[in-house]
Amino acid sequence: MPKVNDYVVWDRGKYGNNEGWVYFVDKEYITIEVGVKPRPVTQCRSGKQPRHRMIHTLLVCHSQFWEELEYVKSRKSQHPQHYSECDD
């Protein structure tokens, strides 16, 4: 079963490959983070609460497709504290 912070490749056959970090896990589906980009500064404040500064693009993979996932590696945290914890 995939875990949060696993890097996976999803071979979707004729639809191509998708790859990224497992961002969320449930018994029925996972989400795979396939892209991250900075949120425009003008959108970082909404009302009283600041908004998250990044926009995450997530792909849903339901449990019946988990057999199509290839595990590549894991990371310790989504939020590294030191550059040595970052991806190569």
> What's residue 83's pLDDT?
41
pLDDT top residue among 57 and 87: 57
Give the dihedral sign, CA 24/30/36/42: negative
Residues 47-51, mean pLDDT to the nearest whole number? 65
- In angstroms, what CA-CA distances link 9 with 44, 45, 48, 78, 82? 31, 34, 39, 18, 26
CA angle centred on 29, ends 23 and 31, rounded to 5°: 25
